[in-house]
Amino acid sequence: MERTRRLHIFDLDGTLIRGSAAPVEISRQLGLLEEIGELERDIIARRIGPPEYAVRVHALWTDLTDAHVAAAFETAPWLDGIQEVWREIREGGDYCAVISLSPSFFVERLLGWGAHAAHGSLFPELPFTRPVDPAGILNAAAKVKIADRLCADFGVGLDACVAYGDSMSDAEIFASVPTTVAVNADHHLSGLATHTYMGGDLREAYELVRLRR
């Protein structure tokens, strides 16, 4: 009998990027670490939600270009072994996707690393000449909706998904799939994860859920 295929769903900020986030790395390129730090504290403390965060980030990034985004992607503190893990997932007949609240123009760069799909919040094209539409900004519930859609696209059941995350924005998807890996996670995922990993190598986190063939 054919083995059930699995979909591995990865968060980005704090998960694939260790100890940082795409907006922080982008802001670093613009010399705006203090400003983004204030916004990060506000959203973590739930003083603002994802739509307001996005509107304020958009206003902060008036000078942002594709070159800044490329440099942020290149220099971000990625976990080791991401491309190797995704290659093994692909070669085994499974699927891997990234779902993140960060801007899609950053998240989608991970398609070049081997992700089958990469979804982020929708921002205007760079450089910005239009306002951000809050309706295109993802939240925790949107991660589950996108996962449902990907399952339909790939012919995989939600019960055959593995989710990897680190924070409150991953709690809903952790509650929706049977196998979860908390990666360098904060207290919001305590007690929700099937497995817990602390470290700097995705290969080690993947080993916790890897199917032996």
DSSP state of 186: -
Residue 113 · residue 103 · CB < 8 Å: no
Q: Is the pLDDT of residue 2 over 70?
A: no
Average pLDDT of the segment spanning 133-138: 96
Q: Against a cut of 0.75, is the pTM above it? A: yes
Query: Using one digit for the tens of pLDDT, what is the confidence trace for 145-162?
Result: 999 999 999 999 999 999
Query: Using one digit for the tens of pLDDT, what is the confidence trace for 171-193?
Result: 999 999 999 999 999 888 878 99
Whole-number Å distance between alpha carbons of 157 and 8: 12
Whole-number Å distance between alpha carbons of 198 and 211: 21
- pLDDT grade for 213, boundaries at 50, 70 and 90: very low
Q: Is the pLDDT of residue 1 over 70?
A: no
- Give the per-residue pLDDT at 35: 98
Positive/negative CA dihedral, 75, 81, 84, 90: negative
Query: Using one digit for the tens of pLDDT, what is the confidence trace for 59-91?
Result: 999 999 999 999 999 999 999 999 999 999 999
Query: Using one digit for the tens of pLDDT, what is the confidence trace for 109-135?
Result: 999 999 999 999 999 999 999 999 999
Collapsed DSSP state (helix, strand, coil) of residue 57 = helix
How many CA atoms lie less than 13 Å away from 120 in the CB half-sphere? 20
Beta-carbon count within 10 A of 106 CB: 26
φ/ψ bin of 19: left (φ > 0), alpha (ψ from -120 to 50), beta (otherwise): left
